[in-house]
Every structure is written in structure tokens, then in C-alpha cells.
Amino acid sequence: MIPLSGCQQGEGKKTGRGDLEGEAAVDDFVLNEVTVELLQQKMERGSETARSITELYLQRIEEIDRAGPKLKSVIEVNPEALQIADELDAERAAGKVRGALHGVPVMIKDNIGSADQMQTTAGSLALAGSKTKRDSQVVQKLRQAGAVILGKTNLSEWANFRSVSSSSGWSSRGGQTRNPYVLDRTPCGSSAGSAVAVAANLCALAVGTETSGSLVCPSSVNGIVGIKPTVGLIGRSGIIPISETQDTAGPMARTVRDAAILLGALTGGDERDARTLESEGKSHDDYTKFLSEQGLKEVRLGVPTSLMGVNAEADHLLVAALDLLEQQGAELVKVEGELVAGAGEVLTVLLYEFKHGLNRYLQRDATGAEVKSLTQVLAFNREHVKRVMPFFKQELLELAESKGDLQSEEYLQAREKSLKGAREEGLDRVMTEHKLDGLVASTSGPAWATDLLYGDRRGTGGCAAMPAQAGYPHITVPMGSVHGLPVGLSFFGKAWSEPTLLKMAYAYEQASKKRVAPEFKDEVM
């Protein structure tokens, strides 16, 4: 364990970890595992305010993220956070409460633009000093809901679209994020910092982004709930892009209810993102109404056999989870064979779309950056190789630069094959044939060891690529742990099926109660 000193702040409240008792450190942070509902109750009673809650989290970040275990999950705190909190407290005192997120501190990933004093860099030194001309849609929605934007989280640089041998959670601006359960293990990525900040109780909620696994994998290995929604449910304007086809932001929380609250706040049309037009009539501003402890009764869940057998101990957890699903009323259907086709086309699609999207973002949305194109990013990285590329290079950026525009026949054919293979010939086909309400699988295996020299050594399976390729929703919930390393259970299905997936995920969560707070161990024991 890492010993951490306790810290007093106002009225004797402890903000950090307490004294060691034998070999176990007692984490006595006053807001440990607090829910959004409980925070609202505290503010309504007057035992806490938005300002006092924000102060507690800021102190926690100093003790746990920057000192103590040095998790390096927070790349930058918001210098305006306390001012925002004061304004929200004044609104509450005047009788105005915007909703469930009023006064609640939320972290956002450092590829999500905010028109304030914070930078938006995707963890890259090439974008150091870069800000956005206006708020992203995600930040607009958070401000409207009354959230306190607490800071920005570290990530795999360029959302893990830089090198084929990268280390998840490492960026040249923020360094290596550490898994709070076992510090020498990966936090996964690319939304590493968002997951770790939520898991280690550095904030109430966080927003991550995903192209293929970047939200659900770090949620799984950090023992939290993550929702990768249908592409188009949440507006993406102002987010540093990888893929128009697959990118989405999504909620990260310690409970399904909290994740559902955040999801409802983020949905809605985005005039700068045409994909959100597809969500009209399919989105909801309150997803908590779908939550039910009886949510698994009389549902049919497909269990893909192709996703089992990669990690034996994770499979044991899955078998136990499947037994519980049946006990709660679910009918399980074995699904043989591959679920999707066209996976070989995905990288081609991403390379073309990354080049196009990044160049457009740098020219249209960014301000203050030295670089204005992917060509200039590559040149900057080569010029500052010792700082930017001390461990791994930029092969994916170079491949993207070599591609043409979005009218190229190679791109158009690859995108058509990828989407058709994942949708009509993939998940839609499987779910229709078996009359399924959703599919269930292990999200990932337990976290592998962080290795900056050789990069990620996954080898632990996972189902994230399938719904990501289709642009379909995916929810992960804590399922248990292997030698103290969390593993998540995934529910995924057809487009716009978030209400159904949330219903099932919540029922499983309430029946299983597998969320366990981290203990900041040095190594697997």
C-alpha cells in the first residue's frame, strides 16, 4: 500500500487518506463513493455547498493525484471552478436549482473543448497552449445543467491514435496515468484519466470519449460504470476528433444511476454535428426513469461464445454473472460464431477520417496552437522527439497523413463494408435471428502491466470493437475482480437501445453490488 497522510480542512473534515492501520490504509475522504443524489441532499440541507464540495475534491486531487500515489489522472484543474461553484450556490440560495447536476463537480477529458482558461490538447505537447473558440456541445450541456467543470483529465495522447506500440494513459503533456487499484497496472485508455478520477473519488462524475473501446475499457479496469452511447446521441462539436463514423462522448460514474443522470444531461441536438439529427425522437433528457431492479425479468440476452476463453479467471467471473442474470429472470441464449464482419476495414476508415477531422478542427475550432494541420503536428513531434516521443513514435499519424480526402474510393468502400458488416450483417442480424434484447460479455480482462518500452500487451479479450464499429450503445458495469484488478460486464445492442441496456445494467448492478473502491496497492498481491 502507499501510505498517505490525512488532511484537515474546515470543521475537521478529512479530505485525504487516513493513518495506516497495520498493513491497510484507511481512506477516510468525506466524499468517498458519494452519489449525485447524496450530494444534492447535502446541498439542500446546507451541510455542504457547491463551493465546499469543489474545495474537497480540489484538495483530494492535490493529495492523491499530484502527491501520494501520483495517479496523474488530472492534466489541469479549472481555475474558475470555485467561481462557478459560488455562482451556483447563489442561484440555489435564490431558489433556482437547475436539476440533478446543480453544483456537482464533473471532470472532462482533455480532448473536449471548453472556452475558458483551460487548454484543450488531447495530451499532446504539439497543442500546448491551444484553446477553443467556443464551448464544445458537451461543455455547453454541462454548464446548462449547473455542473461545476472541475478540470480536464489525462488520456492516451491523441486518444490513442498516434502509435501502434503506445502505452495506454500516457501523454507527452500529462505523463503516465496509473491504475488506482494496482499502481503498476494500466488504466487502459484512451479515457484513462476520466476513469481513474472517478474510481479514486477525485470527482463525482466524468466525461470520456470513445472511438473503439476508449471509454468502456478504462471503465472496466478501473471498476466503474461507463456508457458508450449510440453515435449521434451526444453532440461532438468542439471535441478533437478521430472518426466521424465512430466517435462519441459518454458518461463515466461509480453507479449506473449517476451515469444515467449524466447521460440525460448530455443528449440533444447539436447544430454543428449533423449526426445528432438522427437522435430526434430517440433521445431522452431523463434516463433514470428506465432504471428498475426488475429490469432483467423476461429479457433475452445473447452470450457470444467467441468472446470467451481468452482469460480464464475473467471467464469465471462471467459465469457467475451469467448465473445471477438468470436468477434475476433473464433468458440466456448462446450465440455461436463471429458477431460482425468488416473489422479489417475499420483502420482505413479511421485514418482517412482522422486526417480530415483534425485538419478541420485545428483550422476552425482551435486558437493559440502553433500547429494548424496534421502535417505541422508531425513536424513538431519530429523536432521535439525527446520530449514527445521518448518511448513510442507516431506511425498512425504518418499513415493518416498519407491518405487522401473523403472522396477517395478506398475510403468510401471501406466505410460501407465496415458499417454493413457491423450492422445489417452483424449485430442487427444476430439480434433479429435470436430475438434478443441485448448481448452480454466480459468488457475486458484484468489490467495488464504498464510498459512504456514495449507498449500495451492486451491479450485479455474484450467486446468493445463490435458495438464501436457499428456505432451502437455499450454499457459496462463492475463484475468483480481478479487478484484485486476490476473486470466489467458489458451490455450492448442495437442503435438507440440505451433505455433497455440501462434497465438491464441497473438490475444487474443492484443484484451484484460489485463496485469496490481502490486501495492504491503497489503491485498484484
Rg over alpha carbons for the chain, rounded to the nearest Å, is: 21
Percent of residues in the chain assigned helix, strand, coil, to nearest 5: 40, 15, 45
Q: Is the torsion defined by CA of 8, 12, 17, 22 positive or negative?
A: positive
Task: Indicate the angle between helix axes 409-422 and 346-364, nearest 10 degrees.
Answer: 120
What are all long-range contacts of 380-385, with beta carbons under 8 Å and residues at least 24 apart?
Answer: 380/125, 380/126, 381/126, 384/125
Answer for the pair 231, 211: CB distance below 8 angstroms, yes or no: no
Q: Is the peptide bond before 190 cis (omega within 30 degrees of 0)?
A: yes
The contacts of residue 142 (CB under 8 Å, 6+ apart) are 101, 106, 108, 149, 207, 265, 266
- In sequence order, the 6+-apart residues with CB closer than 8 A to the CB of 315 are 308, 309, 442
Q: Report the relative pairing of strands 438-442 and 300-304 from DSSP bridges.
A: parallel
Catalytic positions: 109, 190, 214
CB-neighbour burial class of residue 492 (10 A; exposed 0-12, middle 13-18, buried 19+): buried
- What is residue 479's three-state secondary structure? strand
